[in-house]
């Protein structure tokens, strides 16, 4: 097996606390190498951007290294990597910028599969511009987002299509390449939410055909930093609000205020960590990443099959979603208990899971779980192992109603 679960687990100091961390979809733990990279940046001394002294040059180098690392991770160009506090903030920024030219003749297409961070910024920007919003629908039983429906949703009026590469609630991976292709054919831009996708499989933004690809490093072993990747030529034509003296260049003009330089060192280290997961990989860092993330995808799929298979055998458990292609994220409910109560029970068993709608607001409505506390979410990431999955299954099995 290209991945060595024991070696990987030993990279993460937090995992030594005895808990099964199945909450990775809400944010992963960080390996020692990331913690060290952040500490090293502070130890070496950093200064603000563009100064005449070495500490300032070190900060500038951290920014450039980070752009190269994120570009390597998703197959983009470093000068098209916009860095910021998180995906939500960056998406609001892009929505504000892109919508300046929209009017009541224009349309925007969002999906009910998406996290609200790739829905509401577009809905609100469209409302300000007077543009029409159309929703791509999810099949409630399977959790599939049919790409074919975009033929009817799109027209020459469409300015932007926002869609997720993987659902953070039920894991569905829609045919993003097909959706982006249809958008492009109609002259619309595509904005792909890669926050849940990036940690689970290799990403190539060029092959996806995504005009914008958003990701968040804290979902893939890095610190709390977001990034949006686009082609520098596309960014060249966009003009966000900015301060008069701040850089007008691309991508800097999309970045507000001072970047968290030491955290950016952590982002680069997180990319290096991902690149190192398949120790047998060779070639460039990008080639290491593709090999490692391919291995991650198949390792996680094996664990996910066990997790889902186990849950599906329990009569008191209802799982959501049966899409043909999924990120390894299980969403379920337990008869007679609110999701929070299930999560509290599992916490007593030292198993971390999430409960609620996970901000997949539209999808929670489609699944009719919005008003009942959402669902329980257990997500696999590359540092989880069979032991974590078995503990979850044992904990959920204990919740079966006792025979009277
Ligand atoms: C699929 C998806 N999109 C967007 C977001 C928002 O990301 P951020 O916290 O970086 O704003 C999340 C966070 O959970 C997510 O899972």
Ligand 1 mean position to 304 CA, how many Å? Answer: 21
Q: Which two tokens stand for residue 301?
A: 């799929």
Q: For residue 90, what pLDDT is reported?
A: 98
CB of residue 167 inside a 6 A radius of ligand 1: no
Ligand 1 mean position to 87 CA, how many Å? Answer: 6
Rounded to whole angstroms, the Cα distance separating 364 from 271 reads 32
CB of residue 193 inside a 6 A radius of ligand 1: yes
CB of residue 192 inside a 6 A radius of ligand 1: no
Q: For residue 177, what pLDDT is reported?
A: 98
Ligand 1 mean position to 280 CA, how many Å? Answer: 32
Q: For residue 15, what pLDDT is reported?
A: 98
Query: What's the pLDDT tens digit per position in 170-196?
Result: 999 999 999 999 999 999 999 999 999
In this prediction, the residues of the chain whose per-residue pLDDT falls under 70 are 1
Q: For residue 228, what pLDDT is reported?
A: 98
Positive or negative, the CA dihedral 378, 379, 383, 384 is positive
Atom of ligand 1 nearest to the CA of 25: 16
Q: Is this structure's pTM higher than 0.85?
A: yes
Q: For residue 402, what pLDDT is reported?
A: 81
Ligand 1 mean position to 316 CA, how many Å? Answer: 30
Q: For residue 1, what pLDDT is reported?
A: 62
Q: For residue 385, what pLDDT is reported?
A: 97
CB of residue 126 inside a 6 A radius of ligand 1: no
Query: What's the pLDDT tens digit per position in 305-325?
Result: 999 999 999 999 999 999 999
């Amino acid at each position: 097996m290209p991945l060595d679960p024991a070696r990987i687990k030993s990279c993460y100091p937090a995992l030594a606390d005895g808990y099964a961390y199945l909450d990775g979809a809400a944010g992963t733990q960080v390996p020692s190498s990331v913690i060290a990279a952040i500490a090293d940046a502070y130890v070496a001394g950093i200064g603000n951007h563009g100064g005449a002294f070495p500490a300032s040059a070190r900060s500038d180098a951290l920014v450039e290294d980070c752009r190269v690392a994120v570009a390597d991770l998703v197959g983009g160009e470093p000068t098209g990597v916009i860095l910021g506090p998180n995906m939500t903030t960056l998406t609001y920024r892009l929505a504000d910028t892109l919508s300046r030219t929209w009017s009541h003749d224009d349309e925007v297409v969002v999906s009910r599969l998406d996290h609200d961070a790739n829905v509401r910024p577009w809905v609100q920007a469209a409302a300000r511009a007077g543009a029409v919003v159309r929703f791509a629908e999810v099949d409630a039983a399977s959790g599939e987002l049919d790409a074919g429906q975009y033929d009817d949703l799109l027209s020459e009026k469409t300015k932007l299509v926002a869609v997720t590469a993987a659902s953070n609630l039920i894991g569905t991976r829609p045919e993003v390449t097909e959706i982006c292709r249809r958008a492009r054919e109609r002259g619309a831009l595509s904005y792909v939410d890669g926050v849940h996708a990036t940690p689970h499989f290799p990403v190539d933004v060029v092959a996806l055909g995504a005009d914008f690809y958003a990701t968040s490093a804290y979902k893939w072993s890095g610190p709390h930093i977001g990034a949006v990747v686009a082609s520098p030529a596309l960014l060249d034509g966009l003009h966000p609000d900015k301060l008069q003296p701040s850089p007008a260049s691309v991508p800097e003009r999309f970045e507000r205020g001072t970047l968290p330089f030491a955290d950016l060192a952590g982002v680069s280290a997180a990319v290096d960590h991902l690149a190192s997961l398949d120790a047998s990989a060779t070639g460039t860092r990008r080639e290491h990443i593709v090999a490692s993330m391919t291995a991650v995808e198949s390792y996680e799929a094996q664990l996910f099959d066990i997790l889902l298979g186990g849950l599906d055998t329990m009569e008191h458990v209802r799982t959501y979603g049966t899409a043909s292609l999924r990120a390894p994220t299980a969403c379920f409910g337990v008869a007679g208990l609110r999701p929070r109560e299930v999560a509290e029970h599992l916490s007593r068993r030292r198993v971390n899971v999430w409960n609620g709608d996970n901000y997949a607001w539209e999808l929670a409505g489609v699944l009719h779980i919005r008003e009942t506390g959402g669902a329980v979410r257990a997500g696999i990431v590359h540092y989880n192992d069979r032991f974590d999955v078995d503990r979850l299954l044992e904990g959920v099995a204990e919740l079966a109603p006792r025979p009277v």
